[in-house]
Amino acid sequence: MHANKIQKLQISLTDRLFGNVNLVDDLIDAWEGALADDFQWRDILTIAQSTAETLVPVVMSFSMLTNEQKREIVVETTRDLFDAVIEPIDLPWLPDSLVDPILRKTITWLAETTFDRLVEGE
């Protein structure tokens, strides 16, 4: 099931990022790498912020989109990576029904604020 979800994510993100296959593969690899043996909770937040920081310069080159559309691509992509890679995994110590919604909301906030910070800094 996990592999099927990742494959669907690859197709969706490649379409959303206008065919940037290498970027999509790198992002998925980074998220899966965050689950290494020495996994820490902060790794999820770190990879989410890093994802947003990687995506901002890419989406800013999409001149046919508004900044709001670009922001939404960054947020949706970061959230979709969480949903496909992290959410299906049984994270230790706390119930998923408690942790997943909190992490998803935090990741959304991180992606939004990272986009805003980087775009306002231009």
pLDDT at residue 122, rounded to an integer: 61
**Residue 78 CB burial class (10 angstroms; 0-12, 13-18, ≥19):** buried
Residue type, position 71, single letter = R
Number of C-alpha atoms within 13 angstroms, CB side, residue 38? 0
pLDDT at residue 14, rounded to an integer: 87
CA distance between the termini of the chain: 41
CB-based contact 93:33 (threshold 8 Å): no
pLDDT at residue 86, rounded to an integer: 82
φ, ψ for residue 96 (rounded to 5)? -55, -35
Q: How far apart are CA 103 and CA 25, in angstroms?
A: 23
pLDDT in 10s for each residue of the chain, 122 residues: 467 788 888 888 888 888 888 999 999 999 888 877 677 778 888 999 999 999 999 999 999 999 999 999 999 999 999 888 887 777 667 777 788 888 899 999 999 999 999 998 76
Closest-CA residue to 114 (of 60, 34, 42): 60
pLDDT at residue 1, rounded to an integer: 44
